[in-house]
Amino acid sequence: MEDLAPAIVLIEPQLGDNIGAAARAMLNCGLQDLRLVRPRDGWPNPNARAMASGADEVLDRARQFDTLADAVADLRWVFATTGRRRDMVKHEVTPAEAAAEIHRKSALGERCGVLFGRERIGLTNDEVVLADAILTVPLNPAFRSLNLGQAVLLVAYEWFRFADETPPRQRIEAGLPRATHGELQIFIDHLEEALTSADYFKVDEMKPVIVRAIRNLFTRAELTDREVRTLHGIVTALVGRRRDQL
């Protein structure tokens, strides 16, 4: 994973907290190559470690550089994260597109990196010019200000998400097998019989409609066999109680 993953380059980060949050977000998403250009409070920074919440391996391997040019010297494609438009003709990509392009280029052996600017003022125009493309996160135009750690998270998350194969929606079985349709049928028969005895079906013509509605409801619930047994017990208990009351 690592060789294909982009480098994350933080330029003059001011707060150790944010470096730590960035490291945590990186490791959450399988990124490990953190590069720091002139961190304000020097390096290493204990505040970074506290905020990293265990992402120590990223901090331990982080490298410090004196210039941005040094930090990106081995990279073939560089994206500059920025929230505001520059007076500059350049391609701009979304985080999802950047992730797709990084995956494609990395698969060809071409290392990529993403630049993040200072907390308050971001990247200078001279720094943006060094990048092959601008990366802008689409956000609420009325409130675009993104924390540094959160900006790193979104870029890293899109990178992870691109190759992730988790099914969008799946049923967690938790070791409890689904009931068979035969088991469900026996329960519906049991319930129908109990309801008939209880004189629930006042009008005979309505009975098939009501039974169908009941069947649909319990089918949609995607019952486990244990749940079907629970429902049998509930019906039996309620019938017993009614008998006792008679």
User: Where on the chain is the footprint of a copy of itself (CB under 8 A)?
Assistant: 21, 24-25, 27-30, 53-55, 85-94, 96-97, 100, 133-134, 136-140, 142-147, 149-150, 153-154, 157, 160-161, 164, 166-176, 222, 224, 227
Angle 171-235-226 from CA coordinates, rounded to 5°:
30
Q: Which residues face 133 on adjacent strands?
A: 79
Work out how close the CB of 157 gets to a copy of itself at its nearest, in angstroms, rounded to a whole number: 6
User: How far apart are CB 37 and a copy of itself at their closest, in Å?
Assistant: 24
- Specify the residue, 37 or 148, whose C-beta has the smaller distance to a copy of itself: 148
Which of 65/160 has CB closer to a copy of itself? 160
Cα–Cα–Cα angle for 140, 97, 154, rounded to 5 degrees: 50
Q: How far is CA 81 from CA 5, 13, 152, 159, 226, in A?
A: 17, 14, 9, 14, 52
Length of the chain: 246
Q: With respect to a copy of itself, which residue has the nearer C-beta, 37 or 106?
A: 106
- For residue 28, the one-letter residue type is N
Phi and psi at 150, nearest 5°, equal -75, -35
User: Closest CB to a copy of itself among 67 and 125?
Assistant: 125
Nearer to a copy of itself, 1 or 203 (CB): 1
Q: Nearest approach, Cβ of 212 to a copy of itself (angstroms)?
A: 24
Q: How far is the CB of 149 from a copy of itself (least distance, A)?
A: 7
CB of 79 to a copy of itself, least distance (A): 11
- Of the two residues 175 and 182, which places its CB atom closer to a copy of itself in the complex? 175
In the complex, least distance from residue 38 CB atom to a copy of itself, rounded to whole angstroms: 24
| Distance, CA of 242 to CA of 50 (rounded, Å) | 62
List the one residue out of 40, 36, 26, 44 whose CA is nearest residue 63.
Answer: 36
Q: Which is nearer to a copy of itself, 64 or 224 (CB)?
A: 224
Q: Rounded to the nearest 10 degrees, what angle do helices 148-163 and 16-28 cross at?
A: 10
In angstroms, give the least distance from the CB of 231 to a copy of itself.
14
Starting at the edge strand found earlier in the chain, the sheet holding 34-37 runs: 63-65, 34-37, 7-11, 112-116, 77-81, 133-135
